[in-house]
Every structure is written in C-alpha cells, then in structure tokens.
Amino acid sequence: MTEEKQEVQMTMALTAGQMLRDARTTGRRKREIATIAKQLCIREEFLQALEDGNYAVLPETVYILGFARNYAMELGIDPDVVVEKIKQELGLVVAETPVPVRENIPEKKKDVKEKVKISEKIAKVKDYKVCKFVVKNWKWFVGGILLVVLLIGLALLLTPGKENHTDAEAVVEVSTAEPKYNITVRERFGKENKKDAEIVLQTTQESWVKIEDGRGKTVFSRVLIPGDVYYVPTGGKHKATFGNAAGIDIWVNGELAPKISNEHVRKNGVLMSADALMKKTTDSEEK
C-alpha cells in the first residue's frame, strides 16, 4: 500500500474535531485557540467545542457548519471534508463511501469528462433516431412541403396583381372622364356625385338651377356663373328647373345633349334621364 493511500485512510479514520486539533497543534505552525478565535471573531469555547466534538455547546446546525468551515480554512485543511464529517457525526447524512480529499480532485475531473462523453453519445443517439424517423416518413414530409407550396401558389393567383389594379383604375378613369366642355370650368358643384354621374351640367350663361329628387326634395339650388359645373346624382328620377334653359349645356355620358329651350326661357320639371335628354324636346316653353 502506498504512503498516499495510507495517509488518506488515516485522514478518513479521524473525526472532524481530531482533524482540526491535529492541524492546529502539529507541524511548524502551532497555534493557540485564543489567537485563532480573535482572527475569526468566533468565541474560544465554540472552537474548543468543535475540536472536542461537543456540538451541543454550539448554536444551530447552520452555525456549527459555518464555524467549522472557517476554522478548517484558517488551519489550511479541506473545509468540505470537515463539514461532511460533522454532518455524518450529527446524523444529517449517511456515510456510504469515503469522503474524497484534495488528492482525489483529478479523479473528479475524470468523472466529469466521462459524463460529457456519455452525454455526447446520448445526443448522437437522439439525432440518429430523428434522422431515422424523417427517412422512414419522408413521403409525409414531402407531401406537406408540396401542399404548402400549392397553397402559396393559389393565394398568389387569387390575389389581384398590379396589372389587375391597373385595369380597374383604367375603367374608373374611363367612367369618370370629364366631358370636353365648350368653355373653361370655373367651379365644380356636386363633387360627391362625380364618380357615378352620367349627366353633367355646365352653364354657358348665368342661370338659376334647381335639382329635385323623385320625392320633390330639393338637393341643389343655386345661381350658376358661366363655366360652373354640376354633377347630377344618378338614379332617383331627379328633375331640374332652369331659369335660363338655353344657357345650360347638358352632357350625357360625355356627349352633348340637344338644347332643351331658347334663350331666357324657364323650364320646369326637366327629367334628368339619359334617354329623355338625348331626344330633342317637344315640350312647350314657358316664359
């Protein structure tokens, strides 16, 4: 048996108190408890109780272990070994295997390396199982990918592209295109009707214009100056009254309708219908 093993066995056979007393009283640095007590700020009787193993003199267990750890560190011995021995002596742990000392630290490192190797092997096994599962069920994975691609393609097809938007905008522009007025536009009225208006009025001479809906409710009434434009609401069987009918240009879908009266003639109940306006009126004129 080597000297190192003999020393370890002798250390393990000692109690925590014997280890502390031997460390204090043997060797080159023999020290008194009183001196160490002042340095550690621990009462002498507590240090003496640790060496005697008389733990009943000491306060709670947490203080016993704390004092013992500080005392062992001051004496230059392994505090973990001393604390572990005291736990065994107090019945806090069961001593199944010898408590390792400082010389066994390389063995701990070896154990850690072994654990790392085992963990790496376990990880490799898990990766292998995952790969095996993917290979075994590759049809399902491929099918899922194809399904996702198909859904994305359908979504792109059903979503209007820039060309579709351009066409829609062109249609809107055509439907709301302004007539080629005979005189410059001065001011516009009824702009809220512009988008859908089939009939647009422009005064070439000063004239009073009143527009009523099918129920006889006035929706617009104003004296318009030459150049003024009014967009007539679509639908609702609107009728117009013109103070100077000859001074009104009536545009139907961008086309100029026939004049409905001579100059300075008042016209009542003019139906704002595309079909009616595009026919030459035969109604009698009212002054």
Q: What is the mean pLDDT of residues 27-51?
A: 88
Please tell me the predicted confidence (pLDDT) of residue 140. Answer: 82
pLDDT at 1 over 80: no
Q: How much is the CA Rg of the chain, to the nearest whole Å?
A: 54
- The candidate with the shortest Cα–Cα distance to 192, out of 229, 231, 247, is 231
**pLDDT band for position 4 (50/70/90)?**
low
Between residues 29 and 62, the one the model is more confident about: 62
Instruction: State how far the alpha carbon of 183 is from the alpha carbons of 15, 146, 177, 205, in Å.
Output: 119, 63, 16, 11
Cα gap 276→194, rounded to integer Å: 21
Cα–Cα distance measured from residue 143 to residue 132, given in angstroms and rounded to the nearest whole number:
18
| Domain definitions of the chain by residue range | 3-98, 103-129, 179-277
* Relative orientation angle of helices 61-75 and 44-52, to the nearest 10 degrees: 90
Q: Is the pLDDT of residue 143 over 60?
A: yes
Of residues 12 and 20, more confidence is placed in 20
Q: What is the pLDDT of residue 284?
A: 41
Res 195 pLDDT > 80? yes
DSSP string, 78-115: -HHHHHHHHHHHTTSS---SPPP-GGGHHHHHHHHHHH
pLDDT digits (tens, 9 = 90+) for 254-268: 999 998 877 678 888
Higher per-residue pLDDT: 102 or 84: 84
Average pLDDT value for residue range 191-208? 91
CATH architecture of the domain 3-98 equals: Orthogonal Bundle (1.10)
Percentage above 90 pLDDT, the chain: 35
Residue 234: helix, strand or coil by DSSP? coil
At 134 the pLDDT is 67
Backbone region of residue 190 per phi and psi (left: phi > 0; alpha: psi in -120 to 50; beta: other values): left
Ramachandran class of 48: left when φ > 0, alpha when ψ lies in -120 to 50, beta otherwise:
alpha
> What per-residue confidence (pLDDT) applies to 119?
67
pTM of the model: 0.39
**CB-based contact 56:90 (threshold 8 Å):** no
Average pLDDT, the chain: 79
Range in 30-44, 109-123, 189-203, 207-221 with the lowest mean pLDDT: 109-123
pLDDT of 25 higher than 60? yes
Q: In DSSP terms, which residues pair with 223 in a beta bridge?
A: 208
Percent of the chain, pLDDT > 70? 72
More confident residue, 202 or 283: 202
